[in-house]
Each structure stands twice: as structure tokens, then as C-alpha cells.
Chains A and B, each alone.
Chain A
């Protein structure tokens, strides 16, 4: 999540929206947002956080998480979402995807932003970073 805030200068001018989904209660999501906000204000105070560059959504029954097939039922913490990242165009069509092998496996923040900018401009995502399925 921090990476999305730190790279927001790539997203905001293109009017790209960023949505994060988890089973976490809203209160935990607000705490996470506060932590990321404090980090950003200390590390990169030039970044504007008004309006906030991403929205966190709660999926307590994992309805959407199950609909995309990202549910992880066997985790010690209970049902959680496996990490997956999509870029979706205005029509609701998935144009790019990165299915992480683990919580530590995340798409390159810069490459992800470049792919999102391409989709926002109606172009194909760059071939040099095709995502991962």
C-alpha cells in the first residue's frame, strides 16, 4: 500500500483510481491508512495526500475475494485474500494482472504504474513488464 501512495504522482495526473480490498474490519484499515500517511509525511512530504490517492475497501464475507478466486481459507489467521493486483479499464475489462506467489512477491511499483498509465491512455501495457498469472 505504501508503494501506491509513494508512486501517486504517476497515478493522480492520469486520474487513475487505486482500490485495495481485504477482509480486514474498517477500523484496521483506518489504522493502516494512518500509518502509511505518517510514513509518507516523514519520507516524502512533497506528496499531496489530499485527496488521498487510494481507497481501502472491506470485504468481510470475502464475496468479491471469492468471486475472483483469491480466497485463502487455510491461513492461520483465518480467511484472507491472496495477494493479486489487476489493472481494469473504464469498461470493467481486466487489462493486466499480477498473481503474487507470496505476500512478499509484489509487482514493481514503477512498472505497475507505467502499465496503468498505458491502460488509462487506451494503449496496451508495455511488453517489458507483462505481469504474471
Chain B
């Protein structure tokens, strides 16, 4: 069950995108006035 609630700060993490570029959370949020983050299952 997701732990994060409205008003919480998004956790820190460093990931790569599918083109190999590094994306750092939460710094990436400063790049846009709003960000939609969706988690999806994959492994179809």
C-alpha cells in the first residue's frame, strides 16, 4: 500500500530513463511547474 500521502515530500532517488539519462528525485521537479509521476507494472 503506497505510503505517500497528499502533502508529503516525494522521496529521493536516482534513476535512469530508457535512453540512459540520469534523473534525480526530487531535483527533477524543479524543472516544471507540475509533474505527473505514474508507476506502472510493466512485464506484460
Binding site for B on A (CB under 8 A): 1, 4, 11, 14-24, 26, 28-30, 33, 55-59, 63-65, 67-70, 72, 75, 77-78, 80-97, 99, 103, 112, 116-117, 119-122, 131, 133
Q: Tell me, rounded to whole Å, the shortest Cβ–Cβ distance linking B25 to chain A.
A: 7
Q: How far is the CB of B4 from the nearest CB of chain A, in Å?
A: 5
Q: How far is the CB of B6 from chain A (nearest CB, A)?
A: 6
**Measuring CB to CB, which residues of chain B are less than 8 angstroms from any residue of chain A?**
1-11, 13, 15-20, 23, 25-26, 28-43
| Extra A-B contacts (15), CB below 8 Å, given A59-B13, A89-B33 | A14-B34, A16-B32, A16-B35, A18-B36, A20-B40, A21-B40, A23-B42, A26-B16, A58-B16, A59-B15, A67-B11, A90-B34, A99-B2, A103-B41, A119-B34
